[in-house]
Amino acid sequence: MIELKEMIDSKGKIIGNNILKVDEFLNHQMDIELINKIGDKFHEFFKEKNITKILTIEASGIGIAAIAAQYFKCNVVFAKKTKSLNLIGDMYRTRVKSFTKNEEFEVLVAQKLLNPEDRILIIDDFLAEGSACLGLIDIVKQSKAQLSGIGIVIEKGFQDGGKIIREMGIDLCSLAIIESMSEDGGAVYRD
């Protein structure tokens, strides 16, 4: 997606060969015009799948999922990372490791919110090692809903998440795949 790559190139900050900061437009400030185009793009890619629900994980996925859901005319469920006093009732549970926070945590989704009849699209901002995505895939499996696809804004193609998910036979749409990156040379994208 050209507008996205242009935004990464102009406003993203690369630190070392591994960390890409996109806090000016994606996961701290959200550029709503860009995210609208991202939602439209996901819809263009998955519109034949009759998606009934978008599943994401707090926090950075929520805004992207909410805007994308307007195109699909469906609702969003976001998996919760922490145990609120208000989380009562039967939960699907899985464990996820955060690459950027270097910690493991439990992820919860209320069982009543996912049904075997649902056709689920998972959406998230980043795909790196794939731990968050694999956690959400695990929750969809537990619910017996159909996983119709995964939409990712930025995939770090030099980490293993994308490979693992494609080898599972899942329909994965990453709007920008970074093959390599460096502070001097910027990001190099996969075609």
In the complex, the residues that contact its own copies under the rule CB under 8 A are 15, 19, 21, 23-24, 28-33, 35-36, 58-59, 62-67, 69-70, 73-78, 80-88, 100-102, 109-110, 112-113
- The nearer residue to its own copies, 31 or 129, going by C-beta atoms, is 31
Rounded distance between C-alpha atoms, residue 151 and residue 38, angstroms: 10
**Straight-line distance from the first to the last Cα atom of the chain, in angstroms, rounded to the nearest whole number:** 10
The distance of closest approach from Cβ of residue 21 to its own copies in the complex, given in angstroms and rounded to an integer, is 5
- The nearer residue to its own copies, 21 or 119, going by C-beta atoms, is 21
- The nearer residue to its own copies, 63 or 149, going by C-beta atoms, is 63
**CB-CB neighbours of 133 under 10 Å:** 24
- The nearer residue to its own copies, 94 or 172, going by C-beta atoms, is 94
CB-CB contact of 164 with 129 (8 Å): no
The distance of closest approach from Cβ of residue 182 to its own copies in the complex, given in angstroms and rounded to an integer, is 17
The distance of closest approach from Cβ of residue 87 to its own copies in the complex, given in angstroms and rounded to an integer, is 8
b/e map 28-60, b = 16+ CB within 10 Å: eebbeebbebbbebbbeebeeeebbbbbbbeeb
